[in-house]
Amino acid sequence: MKALWAWLLILSALVAGEAFAADYEKFVGTFEGDVAISDDEQELKRDLSVTIKRIDDGFQVNWTTTTIKSDGKEKSKSYTIDFTPSQREHIYRSAMKKNLFGGREPLDPMKGDPYVWAHIDGETLIVNALIINELGGYEMQTYERTLVDDGMMLKFHRIRDGEALREIQAHLKRTDG
């Protein structure tokens, strides 16, 4: 009887692992777009791209933002974050550094690093980054990536100490077929 219970426990863990994989699988792909925003009394264009791919034990989100100023100068920022399943369904922890035992874990927000996690709500993959500043205040950045027929809608929010600083919305087209 114990062997049967052990087998059932192993089988349920395998099925749960498959459910986690299916959770983010629909977001796998490459998406690109642009958006025009006003910043400091000038119009800026931002080229946006995001690639979401499978990794051994979760998924990886890689995104690049290229800001093109009115004088033609460009500035790019790229970020890559791996996510692994947490103990809670639909919630993924970032795996941004290795611990003493070689396992991957989130960064430490008390050291000034961002604490990043992701969760999935239906057709939306939400990535949150919490930063605690030197004075003990906080900044929260949220990237909501919602699947649509030809790609995804991106909503970005940045809040500092409860005050909304920026919101950007853009349509990104799927470019990987």
Secondary structure of residue 50 in the 3-state scheme: strand
Q: Considering all CA atoms of the chain, what is the largest pairwise distance in Å, rounded to the nearest integer? A: 74
> Does the domain made of 2-174 have the CATH classification 2.40.128.20?
yes
pTM: 0.81
What's the confidence (pLDDT) of residue 100? 64
Least confident span in 53-57, 72-76, 97-101, 127-131: 97-101
What's the confidence (pLDDT) of residue 18? 45
Percentage of residues in the chain with pLDDT exceeding 90?
63
**Helix, strand, coil share (%) of the chain residues, nearest 5:** 15, 60, 25
Over residues 43-66, the mean pLDDT reads 93
Burial class of residue 91 (count of CB atoms within 10 Å of its CB; 0-12, 13-18, 19+):
middle
Residue 70 binned pLDDT confidence (cut-offs 50, 70, 90): confident
Over residues 123-137, the mean pLDDT reads 95
Answer whether 77's CB lies under 8 Å from 68's CB: no
Answer whether 147's CB lies under 8 Å from 27's CB: yes
CB atoms within 10 A of CB 24: 20
More confident residue, 1 or 66: 66
Q: Are strands 104-105 and 115-121 parallel, antiparallel or unpaired?
A: unpaired
Nearest-angstrom CA–CA distance, 130 and 144: 15
R_g over Cα of the chain: 19
Residue 77 binned pLDDT confidence (cut-offs 50, 70, 90): very high
Tell me the one-letter amino acid at 120. I
| All structural domains of the chain with their residue ranges | 2-174
Q: What does the pLDDT look like over 82-105, one tens digit per residue?
A: 999 999 999 999 987 666 666 666
Answer whether 106's CB lies under 8 Å from 130's CB: no
Nearest-angstrom CA–CA distance, 16 and 55: 17
